Amino acid sequence: MERAKETRDVLVEVCDLAKYYGPIRAVDGISFEVRRGDVLGFLGPNGAGKTTAMKMITGFLEPDRGAVRVAGFDVASQGLESRRRIGYLPENAPAYGEMTVGGFLEFIAEVRSLPDSERSVRSAVEKTGLEDVVHQTIETLSKGYKRRVGLAQALIHDPEVLILDEPTDGLDPNQKAVVHELIARLAADKAIILSTHILDEVEAICTRTMIISEGQILEDSTPAELMRRAPRHNVIRLRLAAHLALDSVAGLRQRLSEQPWCVGVDAPAEAVLEIRPRDGGNYLQQTLDLVRGTELDGIELLEGRLNDLFRELTKGVAA
């Protein structure tokens, strides 16, 4: 009871976790917590250490330093208990190809000693939309279906912690949307950690984003906060009327650049001006006041892209 009280919210605790392969620092002393209701997205270039970190959290890899606790259980010394509470989808969703989908899920249910395995299998099949292929051998399935089989085995025991290594890799846009909805539905009472290369996915489903590079955490924040810090966040794009005289465009540019909240004004294309605001602030109203009377084809407030921040932070690291 006491244990449940202590760990009510924090379901994954990672403390100074490190893994080295010779001189390569795959994971270099990372620490973080994941709480119930969190959907944490690991972002990073290839070889950043995302998968290695996930393998250590699940207990597959032993760390060279540090500790992981899952639902209050130490992964190193209470491995069975912690693994009972984790649903894990490894990279590429490996499974036993010669087995049928149903047979494979029954095997997972048996390993997990589920009391009503038939119901658990049925529920996992329904959640992941595998009804049509349940009697088919896994090796004959498409990549998308194989990924869904991997998701089904990770969900079969309704775990407190879900760890998904690239869960939508190989899925078509419709299937991706289904997985996103599924994760969003599951998120309320679970801690979910997922890794992805798809930045839109982070924006769509993650409540928290961690950018990892060279085994270290570079950023740990909400996607909205990260977007606020994206290089082009709140940039105002003005589309000027094509027939405007060059000197009036130059005058407007001059007026805008003299404003104290303006860092600079770019002209990326003919009759287009982009105003970079100081500290990413929203100066749309001030801009509108300044351009009053000038003929415009359009005005746009850019949200900024996670992509740009990601590229800026991981610059120089092979993607």
Partner 1 sequence: MSALTDRMGQRFAGTRAVFRREFRSYFASPMGYIFIVIFLVASGFLTLSRDFGRFLELRQADLDPFFTYIPWLFVILVPAVAMRLWAEERKTGSVELLLTLPVTLEGAYLGKFLAGWCFLGFSLVLTWPVVFQVARLGDPDWGVIFSGYLACLLVAAAFLAVGMLFSALTRNQVVAFILGVSASVVFLILGLPQSLEAIGRLAGGYFEEVAASLSLVDHFETLTRGLLELKSLLFFILFTVSWLAGGMLTLRETKAD
Coil, strand or helix at 61: coil
> Does the protein bind partner 1 through residue 90 (CB under 8 A)?
yes
Which listed residue (1, 4, 80, 188) binds partner 1 by CB under 8 A? 80
Number of residues in contact with partner 1, rule: CB under 8 A?
Answer: 27
Range 123-129, long-range pairs (CB < 8 A, 24+ positions) = 123/156, 124/152, 124/153, 124/155, 124/156, 125/101, 125/152, 127/152, 127/155, 127/182, 128/152, 128/155, 128/182, 129/178
Among the residue ranges 38-46, 102-110, 231-239, 248-256, the one whose residues contact partner 1 (CB under 8 A):
102-110
Pair 27, 213: CB distance under 8 Å: no
Question: At closest approach, how far in Å is the CB of 93 from partner 1?
Answer: 8
Spatial separation of the C-alpha atoms in residues 204 and 69, rounded to whole Å: 28
Q: Does 79 bind partner 1 (CB under 8 A)?
A: yes
Is residue 46 part of the contact set for partner 1 (CB under 8 A)?
Answer: no
- Report, in Å, the least distance between residue 55 CB and partner 1: 7
Q: Is residue 107 a contact residue for partner 1 (CB under 8 A)?
A: yes
Q: For partner 1, what does the binding mask look like between residues 13 and 42, x meaning CB under 8 A? A: ------------------------------
Q: Which listed residue (31, 97, 126, 222) binds partner 1 by CB under 8 A?
A: 97
In this chain, which of 67, 76, 99, 299 binds partner 1, going by CB under 8 A?
A: 99
Among the listed ranges 110-118, 176-184, 219-227, 234-242, the one in contact with partner 1 (CB under 8 A) is 110-118
Say if CB 115 and CB 156 are below 8 A apart.
no
Does position 86 interact with partner 1 (CB under 8 A)? The reply is: yes
Task: Give the shortest CB-56-to-partner 1 separation in angstroms.
Answer: 10
Give yes or no for residue 244 binding partner 1 (CB under 8 A): no
For the chain, give the number of residues: 319
Binding residue for partner 1, selected from 110, 118, 258, 312, defined by CB under 8 A: 110
Both structure tokens of 58 = 């699940």
Return the structure tokens found at 285: 């109203």
Q: How far is the CB of 110 from partner 1 (least distance, A)?
A: 4
Q: Helices 143-155 and 173-186 sit at what angle, rounded to 10 degrees?
A: 10
> At its nearest, how many Å lie between partner 1 and the CB of residue 83?
5
Binding mask 130-159 for partner 1 (x = CB under 8 A): -----------------------x------
Burial class for 98, CB neighbours closer than 10 Å (0-12, 13-18, 19+)? exposed
Indicate whether 59 belongs to the interface with partner 1 (CB under 8 A).
yes
The one-letter code for the residue type at 253 is R
Q: Are strands 191-196 and 39-43 parallel, antiparallel or unpaired?
A: parallel
Query: d(Cα 254, Cα 291) in Å, to the nearest integer?
Result: 12
Helices (H), the chain: 2-6, 50-58, 79-84, 101-111, 117-128, 143-155, 173-186, 199-205, 223-228, 246-257, 284-291, 306-313
Q: Which residues of the chain form contacts with partner 1 (CB under 8 A)?
A: 55, 58-61, 79-80, 83-84, 86, 88, 90-92, 94-99, 107-108, 110-113, 153
